[in-house]
Amino acid sequence: MLSSTTILIEILLVFVFAEAMGPGCAHLVQPYDGTVWNNPPLSLPPGVIHGAYHSGVTNVEVGYNIYLPNMPPTRPSPFR
């Protein structure tokens, strides 16, 4: 099993090598193939919301679903 430090180093190396390739590495990004990344469901279970954001890298709307548990309201902390 890989440690979190090893994984972090590998991720950082990807960015280092990508930066070393310079602006010429832009050709590695595939052109948009028509995939729809925002597919709002017709209905959602309780507590689930659908949202979307614009991806500047791919220039498309990307959708997501997230569960927000129903939490009781909290009292303000006396230490704030």
In a domain, 80, yes or no: no
Q: What is the pLDDT of residue 68?
A: 87
In a domain, 76, yes or no: no
Of 53, 19, 15, 20, nearest to 37 (Cα)?
A: 53
Number of independent structural domains in the chain: 1
pTM of model > 0.75: no
In a domain, 21, yes or no: yes
Q: Which domain holds residue 27?
A: 4-67
Q: What is the pLDDT of residue 34?
A: 81
State the Cα torsion 52-54-57-59 to the nearest 10°. 110
Give the chain's residues under pLDDT 70. 1-9, 11-32, 77, 79-80
In a domain, 73, yes or no: no
Q: What is the pLDDT of residue 21?
A: 57
- Write down the number of H helices and E strands in the chain: 1, 2
In a domain, 50, yes or no: yes
What residues contact residue 71 under an 8 Å CB cut-off, 6+ apart? none
In a domain, 61, yes or no: yes
- Report the first-to-last Cα separation within the chain, whole angstroms: 42
In a domain, 54, yes or no: yes
Q: What is the pLDDT of residue 51?
A: 94
Q: What is the pLDDT of residue 49?
A: 92
Q: What is the pLDDT of residue 54?
A: 92
